[in-house]
Amino acid sequence: MVKHLAGRSPGHKETVVDRLEKNVFPWIGDRSIRDITASDLLQVVQRIESRGAQETARRVLGICGQVFRYAVSLGRAERDPSGDLRGMLPKRENSKAKHHASITEPKRVGELMRAIQGFTGSHVVKCALQLAPLVFVRPGELRGAEWREIDLDDATWRIPDHRMKMKDPHIVPLSRQAVEILRSIYPLTGHGKFVFPSLRTNARPMSENTINVALRRLGYSKEEMTGHGFRSMASTLLHESGWPHDVIERQLAHAERNSVSAAYNYAQHLPERKKMMQAWADYLDSLASGAKVVPLFHKTA
């Protein structure tokens, strides 16, 4: 395994090993690689899928395939059984949807958080950059945030239905870190309508390209990270850390079009979402500090 990962970044190595230790080794780690079958691998990825972590399942299967192919080259395995599982995993939802580049390796996430902290442009833009990973709403929902939607004392941001993609109202529990950012910008923009107004006029929100331009200024290309990528970042790492799929999806405002009313969905899982959002903010702080060992911030039953 060590030789297989030679030449990769330390962050990538840590992510690969972490995914194997969490998702593969507990089930087949004590088996000879020669004896592991496609059926064994299928059971591994199905366990991951059962948590709602479809993307993690794909990545783990890909890692296993790389390990098997390396073992074949060393004569320690006859073949790569992961190839037998092609087409077995469900297709990605809305496969025609635009791909949004995102950073999901914990060490690189920490590097991104530190880069954001060091942003030297407009303070308003910096605050938007800092808030984006903490709330992981859609870019349009972030830049159009209005002060009347936000209750700092209650640490809650209520986005009305007309501003949501799915046209359902949405609650964003605010972590202590998010509230601190908003309080810091209030003296600058609190007299107006928008939390993040345009640099040219307070009558309009910042432009739709502002966050992406700021990321480019920090040195991240459009193939590496986008404003929308903060959502994928949160979804991937929260799933991998064991938070319930339904709680994550509700916080991402991925509406389920069924008989459940919008009014019910609005506050669904709210106590758990509040805990998750604070734990997520603390986790990002740990990564930003460069901590070598970041504790798992949610334990499944």
Our answer to whether residue 266 is catalytic in this structure is no
For the chain, the structural domain boundaries read 10-85, 106-288
Using alpha carbons only, what angle is made at residue 116 by residues 279 and 296, rounded to the nearest 5 degrees?
Answer: 25
In one letter, which amino acid is 285? D
- Our answer to whether residue 231 is catalytic in this structure is yes
Outline where DSSP puts E strands in the chain: 150-151, 156-159, 170-173
Rounded to whole angstroms, the maximal C-alpha distance in the chain is 70
- Look up 98 and say whether it is catalytic: no
User: Is 254 a known active-site residue?
Assistant: yes
- H-helix or E-strand spanning residue 54: helix 54-73
Q: Which of 231, 239, 250, 273 is catalytic?
A: 231
pLDDT tens digits along 220-253? 998 899 999 999 999 999 988 889 888 998 999 8
14: nearest Cα among 238, 231, 218, 240: 240
pLDDT in tens, 73-109: 999 999 999 988 877 776 655 444 456 789 998 999 9
3-state secondary structure of 86: coil
Average pLDDT in the chain: 86
Write down the pLDDT at residue 301: 41
Report CA-CA distances (Å) from 261 to 156, 166, 168, 257, 268: 21, 13, 10, 9, 11
106-288 CATH fold: hpI Integrase; Chain A (1.10.443)
- Report pLDDT for 191: 95
Catalytic residue among 34, 99, 114, 254: 254
Active site (annotated) includes residue 138? yes
Residue of 31, 92, 123, 165 marked catalytic: 165
Residue 258's pLDDT is what?
46
pLDDT at 182: 98
Q: Cα separation of 71 and 68, whole Å?
A: 5
Residue 268: per-residue pLDDT: 82
Which of 20-29, 164-173, 281-290 has the lowest average pLDDT? 164-173
Q: Please return the burial class of 146, using the count of CB atoms within 10 Å of its CB with bins 0-12, 13-18 and 19+.
A: middle
Calpha distance 61→82 (Å, rounded): 7
Query: What's the pLDDT at 36?
Result: 93
Q: Sign (positive/negative) of CA torsion 185, 191, 195, 199?
A: negative
Query: Regarding the domain delimited by 10-85, which CATH topology (the fold level of the hierarchy) does it fall under?
Result: DNA polymerase; domain 1 (1.10.150)
DSSP 53: -
Please name which of 296, 292, 287, 172 lies closest in space to residue 242, comparing C-alpha atoms: 296
Sheet strand arrangement including 150-151: 150-151, 156-159, 170-173
Residue 13: phi and psi, rounded to 5, are -60, -45
- Which residue, among 129, 102, 140, has the nearest Cα to 253 in the 3D structure? 140
Tokens, residue 108: 């690189």
Q: Which of 96, 148, 264, 299 is catalytic?
A: 264
Q: Quick one: pLDDT at residue 166?
A: 72
- Catalytic residue, chosen from 107, 108, 228, 239, is 228
What is the Cβ-side half-sphere exposure of residue 263, based on CA atoms within 13 angstroms?
0
pTM: predicted TM-score of the whole model, two decimal places: 0.70
146: region left, alpha or beta (phi > 0 left; psi from -120 to 50 alpha): beta
Annotation marks residue 165 as catalytic: yes
Radius of gyration of the chain (CA): 21
Q: Which residues pair with 205 in a beta bridge?
A: 197
Please state which of the ranges 12-16, 23-27, 125-129, 150-154 shows the lowest mean pLDDT.
12-16
Q: What is the mean pLDDT of residues 151-155?
A: 98
